[in-house]
Structure 1
């Protein structure tokens, strides 16, 4: 896979940036947590990584095996702080840093936090710091959080991530198909085959780039591409 230069200003990147800005600039009476949710592959994590750099946010991507203690240790490591001896001490450390620094916190893969029964721990961090916190998760994240009434009520905004569009594909093409122009008719096919997934669009753009370079195409079109295969995420059928 080639190394792309730069990052495309896709719709989800803009949504992610606006969500965290709204939390940071809210009035004091409003809650400070926002949630970006959507299916896998639409570019949520890429957007969050970019926005964390732009907004100087602390960013952690939760893992399925993390305990409450390990989650707090990960947050503190991101902050450059030596973790304390126990969970209450570490929680106070994280909350104090957020309050003093006025920097936001982004928690990616928040579904894992729910699965590990650590939702109230995040609420405690928020209550103690009043920091802007962006939660990122899968499509059912809002429904999963409904049973945590005290947490749910502190979410300022629920932002559904968008499925990849032709406009996104146009912005991705110059990054993943450098020196090759990709016609809109081929981009339409790529977006259709992607079924909403930005990841699949990127895979197919790199495939187009490879074929176009090998065959000397200055522009890749639907006609030139012909019946060549595009990645759809589906496993090929077994041929007997």
Structure 2
């Protein structure tokens, strides 16, 4: 399978959301919120976008137990410096670095930051002073979890929801990622079994491609996959076999 990034409808919505953020009216409203269930491609999109040369974003993946100093230290490290062990000095480091670099900050798994209100407050302190865009990426319930944090919630100027991919997206993934031709009937079956989850779509493409190569097929259809596992969906017994 080719190692390529496919611009699905969710990706296009992400890009449109950031364009809306850039053209915001209030300078302090510099936050974009990206939400969706697991497997829809949020993390892959956030990393791809942050790594684009014209973006050069500061990508941070939050985790359980994150603290205000932890996130400030990560910002400092990503901007090429050694963080101070003292939180107040680390904040100053991060502020200076962000103000100089002018690079957007992407915080993935942002729901972990909500366990301690001061984590995102530390980021807000930097964004308020620098007006650098901040992209928060989290699970589908993160919007309601953020609502009580009015100081931060009011600064969100763009909201993007990652939804199940449509057949047209699955077809694009098959065309761009598979090293064999996948017929439309198999595309539709991959879409059905994956329920539009990008992670499972890639699994289906990989299984179809491997089966085709084992049998020296340049093209693979749904009929070719009869009796083969297309997607291992452990939550629904029997769903993965054609």
Asked if TM exceeds 0.5, the reply is: yes
- Deviation of the 1:123 alpha carbon: 1.8
Q: Distance in 2 between matches of 1:85 and 1:216?
A: 58
Q: Distance in 2 between matches of 1:81 and 1:20?
A: 27
Cα gap change, 1:147 to 1:236, in 2 (>3 Å): closer
- Deviation of the 1:182 alpha carbon: 0.5
Q: Distance in 2 between matches of 1:193 and 1:236?
A: 10
Match of residue 14, structure 2, among 9, 13, 16: 16
Matches within 5 A, 1:64-103: 64-103=64-103
Q: Distance in 2 between matches of 1:202 and 1:236?
A: 18
CA contact (8 A) 1:64 1:112 kept: yes
Cα gap change, 1:41 to 1:102, in 2 (>3 Å): same
Q: Distance in 2 between matches of 1:171 and 1:107?
A: 28
SS at match of 2:165: coil
SS at match of 2:174: helix
Q: Distance in 2 between matches of 1:121 and 1:29?
A: 18
Q: Distance in 2 between matches of 1:125 and 1:171?
A: 39
CA contact (8 A) 1:183 1:219 kept: yes
- Deviation of the 1:5 alpha carbon: 2.7
SS at match of 1:34: strand
Q: Residues 41-90 of structure 1: CA distance to partner in whole angstroms, max 9, x if unpaired? A: 00011111110012111111111132221221111111112212422222
Cα gap change, 1:219 to 1:69, in 2 (>3 Å): same
- Deviation of the 1:175 alpha carbon: 4.1
For normalisation by structure 2, the TM-score amounts to 0.89
SS at match of 1:100: helix
Q: Distance in 2 between matches of 1:140 and 1:73?
A: 27
CA contact (8 A) 2:174 2:205 kept: yes
- Deviation of the 1:236 alpha carbon: 7.5
Match of 2:134 in 1: 133
Aligned length: 235
Q: Distance in 1 between matches of 2:236 and 2:12?
A: 35
Q: Distance in 2 between matches of 1:143 and 1:38?
A: 13
Q: Distance in 1 between matches of 2:10 and 2:236?
A: 30
Matches within 5 A, 1:196-235: 196-234=196-234
- Deviation of the 1:119 alpha carbon: 2.5
Match of 1:168 in 2: 169
CA contact (8 A) 2:40 2:197 kept: yes
For normalisation by structure 1, the TM-score amounts to 0.90
Structure 1: segments with no counterpart, 5+ residues = none
